[in-house]
Amino acid sequence: MNRLAARLGAHRPVLLDGGMGTLLQDAGLEDGAPGELWNLENRDAVRTAHAAYAEAGARLLTTNTFGGTRPRLEMHGLGDRVGEVNRTAAQIARSVADERGLLVAGDLGPTGELLAPLGAMTREEAQELFAEQLTGLVEGGIDLVLVETLSDLGEAEAALAAAHKIAPGLPVAVTMSFDTNRRTMMGVRPADAVAHLAEAGADAVGANCGRGPADMELIAAEMARVRTGDLLLIAQSNAGLPQVVGDHFEYDATADEMAAHASRLAELGIDLIGGCCGSTPEHIAAMDAILNPT
C-alpha cells in the first residue's frame, strides 16, 4: 500500500495548510528577512501560525523550513545553523500537531541553485544539501517529507534520493510549480512530473504555487488523467494573484472562491488539497467547511 495513504487513513481528500510566510509577515516579519530565523528567535509566532491552521481544519502541518537548505540560509548568515533551524521547526510543528492528532510534513524548498549543465551544482551535491536539511527535520520528529515548488526534475529526484537515504521509512510527496503556460520554469509538464516522480519513488506528486485556482484545476486534471497505481495527487494553489494595495501586495482569491476551488479539485479526485502563497487560515477554514461538512 502507498505509504502516505496508509498514514492518512481512508478519508479523502485530506486538507493541508496554507501559506506560512503570509502569516509571519502579518506578525511582523520584516520584508526580506528569512522566516526560518523565527524558528529560533520567535517560536511563539511560528507556533501560533501552525495552531491557526490546525484550528481551521488542516490535518497536516508543514514545517517553516521552505528556505532551510544551506545555500538559502547562508544568504542570511545562518549556514552554520542548518540542523538547529530545521530540527527546531519540526519540534514547533510537532508540538501543535500532537495536541490535535495531526501529521507534520518536513518542508524542503528549492536550493536556489541551478543544476548542471545550466548551473554549477551537480545532482549529488543537491542531494547532500537536502540530506543535511532532512537530518534536522527527522530529528525534530516529522511524519513525512514534502518537497515543494520545484522546477527541475533533476533537483526533485535529488530530494527524493536524499529522503530515501535519510528517512527511508517516511512517505515522500513532491510538488512542482507550473507557472509558465502550465509548465515549470524548466519546461516540465504536469504529466512528465507524474511519470518521472512516481518512477523515482514518490508517494504523492502534485502542484503548488502557480497562477491561481483556475490554472491549478487544469494542471490537476492533467495529472489525474495520467496517474497510475496508488499514487496520490496534491494541489496547493496560491490564493489567486498578488495585487498592489497601498504599500503591500494582497492576493485576490476570496475564502469562498478557494472553497469552491477545493470542491472542484475533489471532484477531479485530488487526494490532498491546500493553499499556497496568500492563503490564510480563513481560506483553509472555508475549504474545510466545503470538503468536510458537519
Spatial distance between the Cα atoms of 249 and 171, rounded to a whole number of angstroms:
35
Q: Which of 227, 186, 234, 245 lies closest to 209, judged by CA?
A: 234
141 Cβ contact list (under 8 Å, min separation 6): 90, 91, 94, 104
Q: Binding site for Zn(2+), residues?
A: 209, 276-277
Spatial distance between the Cα atoms of 46 and 24, rounded to a whole number of angstroms:
7
Q: Grid coordinates standing for 29?
A: 516579519
Q: Binding site, residues?
A: 209, 276-277
Q: Which amino acid is at 179?
A: D
Q: Before 117, cis peptide (omega within 30)? A: yes
H helix or E strand, kind and range, residue 118: none
